[in-house]
Structure 1
Amino acid sequence: MTRIPGKGRTRRVALAVFASAAVALTGCGTTGGAGGAADGEITVAGTYAIENLDAASPSGGGSTGTQLVSLQIFSRLVKPRADGTLEGDLATTWKADPTASEWTFTLRPGVTFSDGRDLTSADVVAAFTRFLELKSTNANNFTGDTMTATSPTEVVLKSPKPDAAIPYKLALFYVVPGTVTGEDPAFFKNPVGSGPFKVERFDPSGTVVLVPNETYYGGAPALKRVTLRKMPELAARLTALRSGEVDLIWGIPDDQLPQLQQDPALTVQTAQSTAVFTMWFNSSVPALTKPEVRRALWQAVDFATIIKQLYPQTGTLSESPVSPVTVGYVPQQPVRYDPAAAKAALQAAGFDFSAKLRLQFANAEFRQFNQAVVSDLAKIGVQVDLREKEQAVFTSDLLAMNWDINFQQLSNPTFDGSNTLGRLYPCAAKRTGYCNPELDRLLTDAVATPDLGERTRLYGEASKIIWGDAVGMFPMAVKYAYAWNSSLSGVVPDPNGLPDFASIRAGGA
């Protein structure tokens, strides 16, 4: 059985961008009632800063905090459900031409912005043009794309090549009034949108207050007010939840969940996320060019035990390079833990046991997991130099291929395989040192195929190659843990840590 290094000490096992260092929960009383929730007002606490309300901004627009607020105050053409399927938002229907390079979106009639002005196709096109011109991170999904208004209630998006993932990618595009151009800080201090909420107050140092948009096409939300507070310390968030100071938190580490689950005033749920623990091998370095070596290293790690000990509620053994809620998920044959067979395979492949492999990762919450991997590899004589790096250094070295094994928690906000399999694994991506023309062909065919079943089959064939050749190890599918005041109803845990407050009711609301 694998022994987790440091097991028994306070752990830093937290998930996603909302997680922070896990510390022991200090003594505190039980939840002191519904607080403001009884009046239809709730407070939500997270670790993230919300410094910008412009999701198209190249300076922070892609941050999780900005995305969370944006989906409350703006509308999108389409939006993902919690299970990863799409539903219309501003668009009632969407369809592709036979080549999947031209997409037509029919807009919902009668939608207005929160200031009462009609929302038309001209606004959608202007917002999309601005989105591309600002060159934010998410705009990279639409390189060479154009959008035109073919009528007041219809827009057409054209891509330079077939792209069946367009509707999923549009989940990151928010429509602002067509009069907004460039970066407009003044507008985004008190923005006008067509989503379920309006901004009552925005303090970039840590607080956003939302109130219902009475003109929202889906009807004004039941909540009277939502206050989003920055609360980076985990112990503070947990104490605030149990005392009733806040009503909803998420990104809770496993070692804190049992205490919350025993509190009758709280509801605790986990949601399958789009994230997968991913440990790429650098196939361009001599020690790791052979697939049999990479497979043997994977076989040498007892991931089942590591997950059971560190992530008993929020982790499961992964069966694919992508999450079960991602388009393109097809389960693969599990890799069986067998250290004796792994060592024999390495010896047969001529592996140099005297050399050290460099394993890099960022963020302290993943330290114990990677220590456990290093410990298991050491049992068969494989030496690993574990390198914990500051995020900027990690990212720079990742792109420079300055590593032998790279650990990341890869999530997928678009819910589509094109954003992970299609973006990271082709030869041209140069992310792993691995290149396979057959894999490239499958990924190209998958993104060009409008038929969802066929796309899934093609991504499954691509995953089989990635998995079988051990381009990396894919040990764990991640769940996000949510906890909230039991007086709330309609809370839907989101796979990307972006809950929609419009569905929530509080107290007698």
Structure 2
Amino acid sequence: MIPLTRRAALTLGVAATMALSACSSATNGGSSSSGGGEVVIAGTYPVDSIDPGGPQGGGTGPQMVEQQLFSRLVRTKTDGSVEGDLATSWKSDATAKTWTFTLRKGVKFSDGKELKAADVADSFKRFIDLKGTNAANFPDYTMTAPSDDTVVLTASKPDAAIPRKLAVFFVLPSGVGANDTAFFDKPVGTGPFKLDKFSPNEIVLVPNPQYYGGAPKVTKVTIKKMPELAARLTALRTGEADVVWGIPDDQLPEVQKDSTLNVQIVQSSAVYTMWFNSSTPALKDAAVRRALWEAVDFPTIIKKLYPQTGSLSDSVVSKQTLGYVAQTPVKYDPVAAKAALTAAGFDFGTKLRLQFANAEFQQFNQAVVSDLQKIGVQVDLLQKEQAVFTKDLLALNWDINFQQLSNPMLDAANTVGRLYPCAAKRNGYCNPALDKLISQAAASTDEQERVKLYGEAEKIIWDDAVGMFPMAVKYAYAWNKRLSGFTPDPNGLPDFSKLQVNS
């Protein structure tokens, strides 16, 4: 999945707002009892695609919609554990290369057709063939359907993280073509909702009466593009919007005073991640990359900008992630940083390109640029539209790349295992010793051993300063007390299927 900035998707990107219509006739249909009602989600980003296999399908915005329309074999819960969705049970062979999933009986698509194992296997093949960002978790993996209620996933190498990895694999009916845009105009799925309307600025969902878990009790969910923070918070205060997440720290005190709102801050799976492009001549030396990290006063920046929703990160991944191991903090020392750069022969005439997407990250990145300039390092700060950012990210058309990397699988296999091997070619860094540790961690069925190995891999990434990993992110949620069934999600992907509007 494209590590789409999670604050870019939440406070940033994901700062999608969830809301109820202000007037009671729209919210409750005039009823004074719970159930029914229309819910409006005011989001920061347009959702350009809801094809989970497409190039944009792994972003936070698209995933927020996809999980309402399509089911998965398994999904992660808010506590980080894995539960079945279309699968009721699963097991691996002794090598962790072959995984067998037993499907839930009686599941139907929204058009009334019964789900078969062939639908799952065909969806997986399409998912792999399209080579989207999430497909990179399954290199040369195949899936077969030996019976109508069983699918078998065969990995090219031992992979103990398969169940968690499948949390980003969505099932479509058989027969959907690689570029079948017509299907996604009126998609058929097994999720709790159906698509009623789709445009870049507004998406309307209605309950799926065929949903195996029971149709949602709300009558409609509308996802509206509302990119301006001021507009989102105004809508929250007036009652036009009843749920917001990704609330910035400077706005939180006012929201917390409102007696009509529930406010909760939850630790997320996201870490601010600033990769260095190690293939750039100026950044090939780990000593240079490390010195640049030392030159930025991240503790002060975080304390100033994110006193409630940020904390200094001590690892490549979040504490909720399986594989998290704390690393030795990098101390802010601009004098030592400049001396190290000089000793390494760094050319202070070089201008580095720092790219990011979404305005919510601008102030943070400006502070980083300011600290680097204090020791004579020149940086061009480049804010790019999401599509351009993603294209340039994959093409390594940058020197420093800022992302809010989230991990909906809550497994280091999705970040450390997917983004840092030599074959990934995601940041210009290649280390055979790191590759070996990642392969060993992926193959181990012993969770304690996996954590140990991932910790050793994270130490290499940290010590070699493949990037800077400054901040662990918390998400601030606020929702109107008229809304029940809402649970803040650590990935910024809340489940809408349990929502109810109360008078």
- TM-score, with length taken from structure 2: 0.86
Kindly provide the CA deviation profile for residues 346-403 of structure 1, in whole angstroms up to 9, marking residues without a partner as x.
45x3444743451412233323222222333344x33222331424555555445454
The residue aligned with 1:365 is 360
Percent identical pairs in the alignment equals 60
Give the distance between the partners of 1:239 and 1:34, measured in 2 at CA: 21
Residue 377 of structure 2 corresponds to which residue in structure 1?
Answer: 383
For residues 184-208 of structure 1, give each alpha carbon's deviation from its aligned partner in whole angstroms, at most 9, with x where no partner exists: 4444333332222233x21324333
What displacement does 1:69 show?
Answer: 2.0
Q: CA separation of 1:51/1:296 partners in 2, compared to 1, >3 Å: closer, same or farther?
A: closer
1:410 aligned partner, one-letter code: L
Matches of residues 162-311 of structure 1 in structure 2 within 5 Å? 162-199=158-195, 201-285=196-280, 287-311=282-306
Contact map agreement 1:73 1:196 (CA 8 A) in 2: yes
Distance 1:126 1:283, change over 3 A: closer
- Deviation digits for residues 71-116 of structure 1 (CA, Å, limit 9, x no counterpart): 1122110011123321111111112222222111111223222343
The SS at the match of 1:260 is: helix
Residues 52-83 of structure 1, C-alpha deviation per residue, up to 9 Å, x if partnerless? 44323x36433433322221122110011123
Question: 2:348·2:378 contact (CA, 8 Å) conserved in 1?
Answer: no
2:16 is aligned to none
CA-based RMSD of the aligned residues comes to 2.9
Structure 1: runs of 5+ lacking an equivalent: 1-12, 22-30
Gaps of 5+ in 2: 14-21, 29-33
Q: Given residue 16 of structure 1, which amino acid in structure 2 is its aligned partner?
A: A
Q: Distance in 2 between matches of 1:394 and 1:124?
A: 32
- Compared CA separation, residues 43 and 164, structure 1 to 2 (3 A): same
Residue 153 of structure 1: how far off its partner (Å): 1.8
SS in 2 for 1:155: strand
Query: Structure 1 residues 32 and 207, CA, compared in 2 at 3 Å: closer, same or farther?
Result: closer
- Cα 1:504–1:452 shift into 2, 3 Å: farther
What corresponds to 1:125 in structure 2? 121
Are 1:17 and 2:12 an aligned pair? no
User: In the comparison of the two structures, how many residue pairs are matched?
Assistant: 483
Deviation at 1:459, TM superposition (A): 0.7
Question: Is the 8 Å Cα contact of residues 34 and 244 (structure 1) preserved in structure 2?
Answer: no
Shift of 1:158: 0.9
Structure 2 SS opposite 1:49: coil
Match for residue 50 of structure 1?
47
Q: Is the 8 A contact 2:10 2:475 kept in 1?
A: no
Pair 1:96-2:88 in alignment = no
Is this contact kept in 1: 2:6–2:60, CA < 8 A? no
Question: Is this contact kept in 2: 1:15–1:253, CA < 8 A?
Answer: no
Instruction: Give 1:46 shift.
Output: 0.8
- The structure-2 alpha-carbon separation of the partners of 1:473 and 1:95, relative to structure 1 and needing over 3 Å to count, comes to same
Query: CA contact under 8 A between 1:360 and 1:394: conserved in structure 2?
Result: no
The answer (yes or no) to whether the contact 1:20–1:234 under 8 Å persists in 2 is no
Give the 5 Å matches for 1:415-426. Answer: 415-426=410-421
For 1:385, give the aligned amino acid: V
- Aligned partner of 1:116 in structure 2 is 112
Going from structure 1 to structure 2, the CA distance change for 1:230 and 1:288 (only over 3 Å counts) comes to closer
Answer yes or no: is the 8 Å Cα contact 1:53–1:189 preserved in 2. no
Q: Structure 1 pair 78/339, CA: closer, same or farther in 2 (3 Å)?
A: same
- The answer to whether the Cα contact below 8 Å between 1:281 and 1:471 also exists between their aligned partners in 2 is yes
TM-score, with length taken from structure 1: 0.85
User: Separation in 2 of the partners of 1:221 and 1:256?
Assistant: 32
In 1: Cα distance, 2:141 partner to 2:261 partner? 46
Instruction: Give 3-state SS (helix, strand or coil) of 1:470's partner.
Output: coil
Q: 2:139 corresponds to which residue?
A: 143
Q: CA deviation at 1:318?
A: 0.7
Of 492, 495, 500, which aligns to 1:497?
Answer: 492
CA distance in 1, matches of 2:120, 2:110: 15
Please report how far the alpha carbon of residue 430 of structure 1 lies from its aligned counterpart in structure 2 after TM superposition. 3.5
SS at match of 2:250: helix
Counterpart position of 1:374: 369
Q: Secondary structure at the match of 1:321?
A: coil
Q: Is the contact made by 2:356 and 2:401 (CA closer than 8 Å) also made in structure 1? A: no
User: Counterpart amino acid of 1:141?
Assistant: N
- Cα offset, 1:222, TM superposition: 3.3
Answer yes or no: is the 8 Å Cα contact 1:15–1:252 preserved in 2: no
1:455-498 Cα shifts (integer Å, max 9, x gaps)? 12111110011112222211011222222112222322223322
> SS at 1:304's partner residue?
helix
Task: Please point out which of 411, 423, 429 is paired with 2:424.
Answer: 429
